[in-house]
Amino acid sequence: MVGGLKIILVAEGREREFESLFRELRSKTRDQELGCVLYSLLKSRTNPRAYIVQEQYRDAAALAEHESSPHGKIYFPKIRAILESITVEYFDGVVS
C-alpha cells in the first residue's frame, strides 16, 4: 500500500473552481484507476482556502499509473495553476 497526503492552499477566490476541478478529477480517477483505493478531499473548518488531499493506492505501480494518467495530464496543470502552495508527502503502508 502507498498513501499520499497533500496540504493545499488555494489562491483567494478560487475555492469553488478548485473543488469543481477536484470533483471531476476524482470521478475520472475512480472510474479509470483500479489501483486507487482512496482519493478524497478535506476542507479546513477554520481556513476556507486550506485543503487536504488523501490518496491511497494498492502499490507503487498504481501510484505511477495515477501520476501519468491521461486525465491527470489534463487536470493536474489546471489545479496547480490556482494553488498558492502545496506540500506533498508519500507514505508506505505498515498495517492493512
The mean-pLDDT minimum among 1-5, 39-43, 92-96 falls in 92-96
Tell me which residue range forms the domain holding 76. Answer: 2-92
For position 68, what pLDDT does the model report?
96
For position 95, what pLDDT does the model report?
80
Whichever domain contains 24, its CATH number is 3.30.70.100
The DSSP code for 11 is P
Please give the tally of structural domains in the chain.
1
Q: List pLDDT tens digits, range 6-20.
A: 999 999 999 999 999
The DSSP code for 49 is T
Q: Are 3 and 91 in contact (CB under 8 A)?
A: yes
